[in-house]
Structure formats: structure tokens, C-alpha cells
Amino acid sequence: MLSRRRMLTMTASAMGAVAVGAATGNKAEAARPRRIPYGACVRVDPLQKELDYRAAIQTYCQQITPEGGLFWGPLRPTRDQFRFENADAVLAFAEANGMTMRGHTLIWYGTMPKWTDDIEGAAEAEHEMTTHIERVVSRYRGKVKTWHVVNEPIDDTKGDVPGLRPNIWLRNLGDRYIDLAFRTAHEVDPAAELVINEYDIECADGTSPKRREVFLKLIRDLVARGVPLHGVGLQGHIKGKYEIDRDGVYGFVSEIRSLGLKAHVTELDVIDYDLPGRIGTRDAIVAARAHDFLEAIFAAARPSVIATWGITDRYTWVPIWYKRRDGLPNRPLPLDDHYQPKPLWNVIDYFCNK
Ligand code: XIL
């Protein structure tokens, strides 16, 4: 038996040989029951139009989430509108295929529609936020069992210790906006599991330790105030260039666990824009990074889910922000653009059965 410490200091190549080896491509094997559900975010367009995409989701996933359908932008083009078609379509697909749908996300600074810039003052902000959460959570009550209530609350500030990320809620309500979001969601669906979700806490790049520290302080404060928080999402948009800070991740998840909270891997992918172009080399690094990340998490606690942000390299957000300079397509996800499993898939499969 290896000690945790020893496991955390071993190299990916030593520990990961089994998990990171060549992908088998055996779909029947992929579909077998797992100890931990595997999930992915999905796009409705290919879900409705592409047989291969649909088949991949059916083959591999136990849980899915709409990639953008629950963002304020598409959901609330005007103050009075709620356009649920996209999320409803994902839910229908999930239910028809024995999967669950995960809710991403109720409160996020990103993709806010223009009209929300006009929200002014605490009373109006509170009204808009609570109305939104009531409408969305009640529509999926009993169906969406896990919500990412607040997404990316920590600021990106380089250098100094970051604080809360500015958004219209922080501006109008102060930091109580986070409590309000969780309490409202809990009132509407007391059985739902409520998660706070964040990125860049795993890399040995100099910024992750500060982000972990600030995020943990926020989490501790929420727990101390009795806010209904049940889980912490580690997005896991891993910056492939850097090693994983295994001890940092292990310490972070241990602390989450000691607070009585569950860890969730919510948006795993490996950002490969500055990795070598050669596919074999790149896929091996991508798999090794995910392996190290998951191994460090598992050393502290088994996560509730391992979800990737997309399933195939054909449909990924990564090139929107991280296009490769050599013009080669990104390869951040478990299946390639022809739906063949890559070494990253073997890593995920290994940990989902661990
Ligand atoms: C991304 C979507 O994948 C894109 O389609 C959209 O244009 C922007 O948002 N962290 C998150 C996700 O929590 O919501 C983001 O998703 C990716 C980063």
C-alpha cells in the first residue's frame, strides 16, 4: 500500500501507466456502470442533428448539462423572457436515456444580457436575482438535483491576493449576494444539492495557491454563516503547460471534506494551446495532467462526479480563448473529433471506477 504522501509525489508516468495507456476504443466497455458518474456539457444543435454526437453522449455519459442554455444571455434575452427550450431539450434527452441533468449555472458574471446593466440598487438587484432563481429552479425542481448556484466568484487579479470578482450583484448587494443566491435556491428546492464552482486552483503556476486561499476563506465563511452549501466544484480547466500542484489540490479537497462538503469535478478539460503539436505527445501530456489532478483529489476524497466541459474535440470552448499559434486544432477532451476515445478517456474511465 502506498502512503498518500508517496502517491502524491510519484510522477504521472509511474502511477498513470494503467490509466494513461493507449485508448481501447471499446464502446461496450465504456458503457458499463461506474462507481462515480461521468458527465459532460452538451450542445443542443449537434445533439439534435448528429447521430455520432448523440451516440457518444449515450455511450459514455451518466450525467449531462446544457453548455449554455441556462446562461442568463440566451435564457433571458429581455427582462421578461425566460427561454427554456434549450435546457428543456437537454433534460428531455437526459430523461429519455436514463441520465440526470445538472444545472449550470444560476449566477455568473459571464454572458449577462445587456439589459442587466441597468439593474441599479439593492432592492432591484435582489428582486431580479431571486425572481430568476425562483423561476429556473422551480421549473426543474425534482429533476435537476445539482445546481452550480454561483460560478466563478473569485477575481482573476494577478499579483496580489484576489478578492471577489466584480459583477452586477456584488456592485448592488455587496458580498451577501452569494448567501442570497444559495438561500433562495434552497428555499425553492430544499432537496437540491447546491454547489459553488471555481477554476484555476490546481496548477503549479503561482496563481493557484492564492486563489485556493481566497476561495477556501469564502467557503469557510459560507459554512460558518449556515448558508445551504453542499458541494464545491473544481472546474478543472487545466492549463496543460503546468504541472499539477498535487499537494495543493490534496490540501484543498481535504479541507472541503473536513467542512462536510462534497468535491465535484465539473468542467474538466486540458488547455493544450501551448503544448507540443505532435498528437501522441500532446494527448499523453493531456492525459497525464488529468491523471495527476484526479489522483490528488481522490487521495483526499472521492468526488461526486467527474464531468468534462464537452465530450469531443469537435465541440469545445477552448479555441474561443486558447487557439493554438501553429493552427492545429485543440485536443482538450476525452474523445477526438471523430469520436474515438483518447488516452484522456482511459484516465477518466479508470477514476470513475475507482
Ligand atoms: C463557456 C461555454 O463553453 C461557451 O460556449 C460560451 O461561449 C462561454 O462559456 N467556465 C465556465 C463555463 O464555467 O460556463 C464556460 O463555458 C467555460 C469556462
DSSP string for 177-220: HHHHHHHHHHHH-TTSEEEEEE-S-SBSSSSHHHHHHHHHHHHH
DSSP 43: -
Q: Which three cell numbers stand for residue 306?
A: 467527474
- Inform me whether the pLDDT recorded for 343 exceeds 80: yes
pLDDT for position 159: 60
Q: What is the pLDDT of residue 330?
A: 98
Please, which pLDDT band fits residue 337 given cuts at 50, 70 and 90?
A: very high
Say whether pLDDT at 193 is over 50.
yes
Instruction: Report the alpha-carbon distance of residue 105 to residue 91 in Å, rounded.
Output: 15
CA 187 to CA 28: how far, in whole Å? Answer: 41
Cβ 314 vs Cβ 308: under 8 Å: no
Question: Per DSSP, what are the bridge partners of residue 144?
Answer: 101
Query: How much is the pLDDT for 11?
Result: 36
Shortest-distance atom of ligand 1 to CA 197: 13
Distance (angstroms) between ligand 1 centre and the Cα of 71 equals 9
Q: Is 74 in the pocket of ligand 1 (CB under 6 A)?
A: no
Q: What is the mean pLDDT of residues 222-226?
A: 98
- Residues 324 and 320: their CA atoms lie apart, in Å, by 10
How sure is the predictor about 240, in pLDDT bands with cuts at 50, 70 and 90?
very high
Average of per-residue pLDDT values in the chain: 92
Q: Which backbone phi and psi does 62 adopt, to 5 degrees? A: -105, -15
Check residue 115 and report its DSSP letter: G
Whether residue 283 has its Cβ less than 6 Å from ligand 1:
no
Work out the average pLDDT over 259-284. Answer: 98
CA torsion, ordered 10, 15, 17, 23, to nearest 10 deg: -120
pLDDT above 90 coverage of the chain, percent: 88
The minimum-distance atom of ligand 1 relative to the CA of 151 is: 13
Residue 203's φ and ψ, nearest 5 degrees, are: -95, 150
Query: Ligand 1 in contact with 267 (CB < 6 A)?
Result: yes
- Atom of ligand 1 lying closest to residue 317 CA: 3
Given this model, what pLDDT does residue 26 score?
44
Query: What pLDDT, on a 0 to 100 scale, did the predictor assign at position 22?
Result: 35
Distance from C-alpha of 235 to C-alpha of 309, rounded to nearest angstrom: 9
> Angle 279-300/343-352 helices, nearest 10 degrees?
20
96: its cell numbers: 429519455
- Three cell numbers written together for 6: 508517496
- Please tell me the predicted confidence (pLDDT) of residue 142: 97
Give the model's confidence band at 315: pLDDT under 50 very low, under 70 low, under 90 confident, else very high: very high
CA distance linking residue 61 with residue 80, whole number of Å: 34
State residue 27's pLDDT score: 46
Testing ligand 1's pocket by substitution, the residue of 41, 42, 45, 67 carrying the most ligand atoms inside 8 A of its CB is 67
Q: Measured in angstroms, how far is the CA atom of residue 4 from the centroid of ligand 1?
A: 34
Residue whose CA is at the smallest distance from ligand 1 atom 3: 317
Task: Note whether 351 and 306 are within 8 A (CB).
Answer: yes
Determine the pLDDT at residue 156.
Answer: 87
Lowest-confidence segment of 11-25, 106-120, 288-302 by average pLDDT: 11-25
Rounded Cα distance between 90 and 100, Å, is 10
Residue 301 predicted with pLDDT over 50: yes
Q: How confident is the model at residue 93 (pLDDT cuts 50, 70, 90)?
A: very high
User: Does the C-beta of 317 come closer than 6 Å to ligand 1?
Assistant: yes
More confident position, 16 or 100: 100
Q: What is the pLDDT of residues 1-51, one digit of tens each?
A: 333 333 333 333 333 333 333 333 444 444 567 999 999 999 999 999 999
Give the mean model confidence (pLDDT) for residues 54-73: 98
Residue with CA nearest ligand 1 atom 7: 317
Ligand 1 proximity of 67 Cβ (cutoff 6 Å): yes
The per-residue pLDDT for range 158-177, each reduced to its tens digit, is 666 679 999 999 999 999 99
Distance (Å, whole) CA 161 – CA 156: 9
